[in-house]
Amino acid sequence: MPPIRVVIANSAETIVASPVSVSSPDSQSFATVHVTADIRGTVARLRAQIAVVDLEVVSFSDLGELCKEFPATAFVCIHRLADDAMWAQALAAGAVDCCVSADLPRIVENANSYAAGKEAEATAAA
């Protein structure tokens, strides 16, 4: 299976453990951005399968636009104080999940499983 391409958009203040430290560097390709303006270009350039976006960087309206513009990319939102209301708003905007920022290493670990499942769905539909 080719490497999973992941874009992580987080605020400069958010401290993120290196994604490579939680998974094999051979199985994933990462890019990190810190401003909304860089997300579109990076997702398009990498053809990212997963984009983890901090809701302190991306507004819900921007999230909705990104989800429409990149339907093949699964957007997972994070926020330091994520709650059920944020989760509902994120899903309404098109995201696949919304988690607390501390879950980022687990999200990255599960990116391979998610992408493999999507690939299997695409193959079965063809």
All structural domains of the chain with their residue ranges: 4-125
d(CA 90, CA 75): 9
Secondary structure (DSSP) of 31-44: EEE-SHHHHHHHHH
Q: pLDDT, tens digit, for every residue of 82-106?
A: 999 999 999 999 999 999 999 888 8
Residue 9: pLDDT above 70?
Answer: yes
Report how far apart the first and last C-alpha atoms of the chain are (Å, whole number): 18
- Identify the residue whose tokens are 């989800």: 67
d(CA 95, CA 78): 11
Least confident of 63-67, 96-100, 105-109: 105-109
CATH (one of 2.60.40.1250, 3.40.50.2300, 3.30.70.260, 3.40.109.10) for 4-125:
3.40.50.2300
Q: What is the mean pLDDT of residues 68-93?
A: 95
pLDDT at position 37 is 86
For residue 22, name the pLDDT band (cuts at 50, 70, 90).
very low
d(CA 76, CA 99): 8
Spatial contact of 81 and 56, defined as CB atoms under 8 Å apart = no
d(CA 46, CA 49): 9
d(CA 43, CA 52): 11
pTM assigned to the model: 0.82
Supply 58's token pair. Answer: 């991306």
